[in-house]
Amino acid sequence: MIKIDSLVKRIKKKAAVDGISFEVKEGEIFALLGLNGAGKSTTIKTIMGFIRPTLGSVTVSSRNTGYLPENPYYYDYLTLKELLAFSLSSSDIKDNAKERISRMAEKVGMAESLDRQLRTFSKGMVQRSGIAAALIHEPELVILDEPMSGLDPLGRRMVFDLITELKGKGATVLFCSHILSDVERLCDTAAIMNKGKIVRMLTKEELLLASEQAEVVFEKSESLRASLSGMKTAEYDKTIGVFTDSHDIVSFIESMKNKGFGAVTVKSADNALERIFEEAVR
C-alpha cells in the first residue's frame, strides 16, 4: 500500500527525514512513533504529496485516501454538515450523502452539532470533525497525524474503536501518536523515529516477546467470566482482559479456543513499548 525507499527530506539544508525506508502492507495498522521533531509529520506530508522528497522515493498504491493533519484547520464559517458534504463531493460521492453525513457525525459523537459553525467548536470538537471528514468517504488508506490530540478519554476511545473498525473492514491505517498504550493495543507494526531516522522497527510479536506478561482480550460474557475463576482479569465495556505469562500465550489462547472463546486481541501488560521507546530515543 505504501513503500518508502531511502527517503530524505531536507528543510533549509537540515535533514528533517534522513534516509528512512519502510513498507505499510495492505490491511495493516502501522504506527509512527517519536519525540517532537523526530520527522513523523514530514514523512506523512511527503506520503500525501504535499512536499517533495529531496532524495529517495515514496510509492502509494491507494486511489482513495483519508487524511487528518496534526492541526486540522478549516474555514470556520462552515457548519459541520457543510464540511462533511464538501469532503464527500471532493471524493465525487453523491449517493446517500445525507445518510452518510448523519451516520458519520453519530460515530464521532457530533450528531447534535451538524448545524453549528466550526468557529463555535472547541479543539476537541474540531478534532472529531476532522476525523469525520477524513473517514466519511470510506477510504481504503487512512493517514492520521496525532488523531487523539486534544481529545478527552471518551474521544480517545472513539478513535480507538474507529481504527479497530477500519481494520475489520480491510482498510490500511498509518498513524502517529504519543499515547503508547493505545499504539501497543492497535498496531501491527510500529516504527520509532529519532532525529529523522528510524531507530527501531517492531511487530506485535516482538512487543509481546519483550513483555513478561500479556493481556489476552475476549468478548465479555457470563460464561467467559465463569471460566476464568481464579485468574487475574480486567473488565472493560464490552470485553474482558485476561493476564498470563508471555511464554504461555499460545497454549492459553488454544485452550480458551477449545472452550469456545476466541481472543479479540493480545497486548503486552507491562508497558513493553514504553520501555523500548525510551531506550530507542535515549
Q: Model confidence over 177-220: pLDDT tens digits?
A: 888 877 877 889 999 999 999 999 998 777 766 666 788 899 99
pLDDT for 274 equals 80
pLDDT for 10 equals 95
Task: Name the superfamily (CATH) of residues 2-205.
Answer: P-loop containing nucleotide triphosphate hydrolases (3.40.50.300)
Span 222-233, mean pLDDT? 89
Which part of the chain is CATH 3.30.70? Answer: 212-270
Span 45-52, mean pLDDT? 95
Q: What's the grid cell of residue 157? A: 476511545
Span 123-128, mean pLDDT? 94
Which part of the chain is CATH 3.40.50.300? Answer: 2-205
Domain spanning 212-270: CATH 3.30.420:
no
Q: What's the grid cell of residue 26? A: 495492505
pTM of the model: 0.79
